[in-house]
Amino acid sequence: MSGTERATTGRRKGRGQRLGRRVDPATRDAVAELLAGLPLRRDLLIEHLHRLQDTRGCLRAGDLVALADLLRIGVAEVYETATFYAHFDLRDDGEPAPAPAVRVCDGLSCRLQGALQLATSLRTLLPPADARVLRAPCMGRCDLAPVVQVGKRHADQASAADVQALIDAQAFAALPVVGESLAAYRARGGYRQLLALREGSLQAAAVIAEVEAAALRGMGGAGFPTARKWRLVAAGPAPRYLVCNADEGEPGTFKDRLILEQQTQPFLDGLLLAAACVGAERCWIYLRDEYPAAHALLRREIAALEEAQLIEPGFIDLRRGAGAYICGEESALIESIEGKRGYPRQRPPYVAEAGLFGRPTLVNNVETLALLPQILAGGGGHFAALGSEGFAGLRSYSVSGRVRQPGLKQAPAGISARRLIDDYCGGMADGQQLLAYLPGGASGGILPARLADLPLHFGELEKHGGLIGSAAVIVLSDRDDLRAAVQALLEFFADESCGQCTPCRIGTEKMLALFAAPELDLELLDELATLMREASICGLGQAAPNPLMTALQYLPRQLSASAAR
């Protein structure tokens, strides 16, 4: 119908009116009341959705229509965002409220400790009216496997009885994490360099020079030199922003969670130092939704910084993810902060040039920022000398799987997997012999025991088809089913593909299907892997073939033996 015809019928939509479902005034008022104190801005859409779900237990269709009206955006924009993220539970208005969600981690580290069997037991034990037992991707607690999340409470090294006790007690709130206070941290010299920067007795150029001398690199996976990134952002036009990527979702990775919980003040100190050096006008911390205890701790300590007048109110904006592995990719994370689906952006331009809200944006990882006070306290050269085998500095390794003492291990950069296992993890678990290891989580590939003396560092593992990434080391033993491990990793990538680009969306599903065939078509698998690596938009599709292709390269006999079990 033309514009003239619409005017003739008297049904032309006026400005502010929308096609589609009409807004119920009572629902609109109720939603507005629930969102009181939270600005009605488009970029806060995901925060609005969290507020609604936290309050009502799910997202109702009528509430989403009302929210769209309050934000003055299309209903489709709200729905496409709400349906993109795994943690949002959409229900029709007439549906009953859902039973509490019991999420059983099915990441590889948890599977090694019986997570799938635990999920089966829970489905038998818990009536559907009491709980919904769901399989969930890695929760970032791999050293405590198997892990179950009930509401916001985690049951570590969980049994069915542990979960039943939480359900019976209605204990769904996250356990608090105390952390070091602002006063205690300042008493031992915390924020001293930050104040010196602000007063002018310390220059940003000097700080960046120390960071360069330390050879600090991004610890989130890409390993880009930190000082070079800072200079690129600082050279851009104002306003400039800083975003901390705290959305670690790589299976096997839990370092950022422990750093945030145990080194909260050094992390915030490093965040503010980086912001001062690049002239960032505001900071955002994008934290994965699986870390509710860290969220509460950060919220408290950010408020303490504001009260102490170390930052202006609102200078640090804490945002929650909503269950999307792809948002660990920096441009997808920025899209999510803007209140949209977490689709990676085509590059160029890079986020250092045009990032959050189109402005030059520094994106750094939690570990990278938390190391800054230590580097400045001792000097960049001293920090660099702490490395081994000719590599610079220290880094945190998340170690899980078949070792006696899994956990977060800060060790010299360039350490080998064998030394890490023997010297930092108490060796292999009783009765287990090293078969293989994943040096960088699901994306890092699977390397055999005979390559366990390679340096765990950027530029070294790539020569053998592996990646260090975020240094998530998962250790497999001769008793593990290698085929089941590869299956778990391929399932993860197929589930977590955002679907934006065809090579990844279709490629991950096709690779999983080919792997399930009675006989592997090696030529077709190799062709598919090449296509995915060369044509996918981001690292998810590019790295998704790594587990299978490295297992085929180094452990074909074990892979076949697993298939025959």
pLDDT digits (tens, 9 = 90+) for 397-451: 999 999 999 999 999 999 999 999 999 999 999 999 999 999 999 999 999 999 9
pLDDT value of residue 489:
98
pLDDT value of residue 459:
87
Flag whether 222 is in a domain.
yes
**Is 92's pLDDT higher than 90?**
yes
Residue 7: pLDDT band with limits 50, 70, 90: very low
CA distances from 353 to 205, 223, 257, 338 (A): 20, 18, 29, 17
309 and 360, same domain (yes or no): yes
- Write the CATH number for 489: 1.20.1440.230
Between β-strands 394-401 and 407-412, what pairing exists: parallel, antiparallel or unpaired?
antiparallel
pLDDT value of residue 565:
58
d(CA 451, CA 193): 42
d(CA 442, CA 278): 33
d(CA 40, CA 62): 18
Please state the rounded mean pLDDT for residues 318-347.
Answer: 97
pLDDT value of residue 11:
35
pLDDT value of residue 22:
87
Flag whether 10 is in a domain.
no
29 and 87, same domain (yes or no): yes
196 and 334, same domain (yes or no): yes
What is the maximal distance between C-alpha atoms in the chain? Answer: 83
Flag whether 439 is in a domain.
no
Flag whether 176 is in a domain.
no
pLDDT value of residue 45:
98
155 and 242, same domain (yes or no): no
The range of the structural domain enclosing residue 291 comes to: 182-377
Residue 563: pLDDT band with limits 50, 70, 90: low
Six token digits for residue 48 = 């609005």
Q: Are 412 and 392 in contact (CB under 8 A)?
A: no
The model's pTM: 0.94
For the chain, what percentages of helix, strand and coil (3-state, to nearest 5) are there?
Answer: 45, 15, 40
291 and 222, same domain (yes or no): yes
Residue 222: pLDDT band with limits 50, 70, 90: confident
**Is 389's pLDDT higher than 90?**
no
208 and 249, same domain (yes or no): yes
157 and 304, same domain (yes or no): no
Average pLDDT, the chain: 94
Which of 153, 169, 59 shows the shortest CA–CA distance to 103?
153
Please state the rounded mean pLDDT for residues 1-27.
Answer: 53
356 and 279, same domain (yes or no): yes
**Per-residue pLDDT tens for 454-496?**
999 998 899 999 999 999 999 999 999 999 999 999 999 999 9
Flag whether 154 is in a domain.
yes
346 and 212, same domain (yes or no): yes
Residue 20: pLDDT band with limits 50, 70, 90: low
What are the residues whose beta carbons fall under 8 Å from the beta carbon of 82, sequence distance 6 or more? 49, 59, 64, 88, 90
Flag whether 254 is in a domain.
yes
Please state the rounded mean pLDDT for residues 353-360.
Answer: 98
**Is 18's pLDDT higher than 80?**
no
Between β-strands 447-448 and 407-412, what pairing exists: parallel, antiparallel or unpaired?
unpaired
Number of domains in the chain: 5
**Is 142's pLDDT higher than 60?**
yes
**Per-residue pLDDT tens for 537-551?**
999 999 999 999 999
- Write the CATH number for 342: 3.40.50.11540
Q: Are 437 and 180 in contact (CB under 8 A)?
A: no
pLDDT value of residue 17:
43
Residue 8: pLDDT band with limits 50, 70, 90: very low
- Write the CATH number for 465: 3.10.20.600
Specify the amino acid at residue 485. Answer: A
Residue 223: pLDDT band with limits 50, 70, 90: confident
Flag whether 64 is in a domain.
yes
